[in-house]
Amino acid sequence: MGRAVRLATPAQRRAVLARYATCYREGCPIPADMAEIDHVQGWAEGGTTDLDLLAPACTWHNRDKATHPDRYRTRRNHDGTWTLLYHGKRNRFAGRFRR
Ligand SMILES: [Zn+2]
């Protein structure tokens, strides 16, 4: 599918839902069928709409990841699925003393 299609197709969505039970953020309980289909690699950074790079993210985590991509990283699991890991604000106090 590559970059020709911006959104996941219905078939891709079904395939993603078959692979994930919940939002792919580690520990998030939102069911995958209530989630949006996220590009594991942000679309803006050249991510593609390939099934292998799609994962369900609930509205909150999808938005938060898009707003603060620096706070998240992804992990590829042995079964081919992805887990979204949150590491919080990096250099939280770094800017505070900068002039
Ligand atoms: Zn979530």
Report if residue 14 sits inside a domain: yes
Cα 74 to ligand 1 centroid, rounded to whole Å: 14
Judge whether 99 lies within some domain. Answer: no
Q: Is the pLDDT of residue 36 over 70?
A: yes
The DSSP element (H or E) to which 37 belongs, if any, is: strand 36-39
Give yes or no for a contact between 8 and 56, defined as CB atoms under 8 angstroms apart: no
Distance (angstroms) between ligand 1 centre and the Cα of 69 equals 14
Which residue range forms the structural domain that includes residue 68?
Answer: 10-89
- What is the pLDDT at residue 1? 47
Q: Is 53 part of a structural domain of the chain?
A: yes
In a domain, 3, yes or no: no
Tell whether 22 is covered by a domain.
yes
Ligand 1 center–CA 57 separation, angstroms:
5
pLDDT at 51: 80
Q: Is the pLDDT of residue 84 over 80?
A: yes
Is position 49 within any domain?
yes
Between 94 and 83, name the one with better pLDDT: 83
